Amino acid sequence: MTSVVKQFGVFLAPHRDDATRKEQAIAADELGYGTVWFGTGRNSVGDLAFVEDVLAATEHITVATAIVNMWVDEPETLAESYHRLAGRYGQRLLLGIGVGHPESVTEYRSPYEKIVGYLDRLDAAGVPADARILAALGDRVLKLAAERTAGAHPYLVPVAHTRHARSVLGPGKLLAPEQKVVVDEDPVAARAIGRPYVREPYLGLRNYVNNLLRHGYTEADVAGGGSDRLIDDLVLHGSPETIAKGLRSHVDAGADHVAVQVLGPSPEAELANQRRLAEVLL
């Protein structure tokens, strides 16, 4: 059974190399964050080699994949890797899995059936439901997350989605949204850092755009590089105290845990701001 007990963790995206992300994960463990979420992009990660490396280098933090792409890694491969690590790190290993988005996979077909079949095969391979969490935005997949996994890990969502997702998941299921932040009190400078991470690729992907349109945004908000209102909601900015208040809004809306993706001009700046946020969050 996986333990994600603390309200805040860190999300480390693959735009930084693995050596940098390992360093940031070790720092997150030392600072007391609850979970480190490793973005995988389109890469094959079913062998969990990097996850194993980070688990061995840390002591307390849960290590989560975000996400294993069902079109890229076979469930039997993932299950074999899970069983290799579960005996030693089981409480600290969380398999984030999902179908990604149709624009990135040429054979993308019937995503809901793909998820169901993948979960069936993980069941058959002995991976427990509470060791996995599902990337979920829409109601149908949120309900499946509640029925077949520990819960849901929505990416690029406003607080309104968190509130809605909790109502769909019901009580007792883990809800762990991702939230981007820029620690900078100059809104122009903060948006200049944050907007590219929303615009590319997400404002060109229909599942993310449709989800934003369902939760209070207009076509004008999602056009181009995104309106300031959209960017400010999806990439919180300000002082650590201001950002902490925004992150706690997800908790107030029903999140159990928030995966905080700190964006900055360099890995060093991101690590420094990860530390500054820990001082007010943890």
Predicted local confidence at residue 100, as pLDDT:
81
97-135 per-position pLDDT tens digit:
999 865 455 555 689 999 999 999 999 999 999 999 999
List, in order, residues 6 or more apart from 2 with CB less than 8 Å away: 62, 90, 91, 92, 93, 94, 130, 131, 133, 150
**Residue for token digits 């080699």?**
49
pLDDT at 3: 58
pLDDT tens per residue across span 143-200? 999 999 999 999 999 999 999 999 999 999 999 999 999 999 999 999 999 999 999 9
54-79 residue pLDDT tens: 999 999 999 999 999 999 999 999 99
Exposure of 149 by Cβ count < 10 A (0-12 exposed, 13-18 middle, 19+ buried)?
Answer: buried
Q: How large a percentage of the chain has pLDDT more than 90?
A: 92
pTM, two decimals, is 0.95
Task: Answer for the pair 100, 71: CB distance below 8 angstroms, yes or no.
Answer: yes
Q: pLDDT higher for 106 or 1?
A: 106
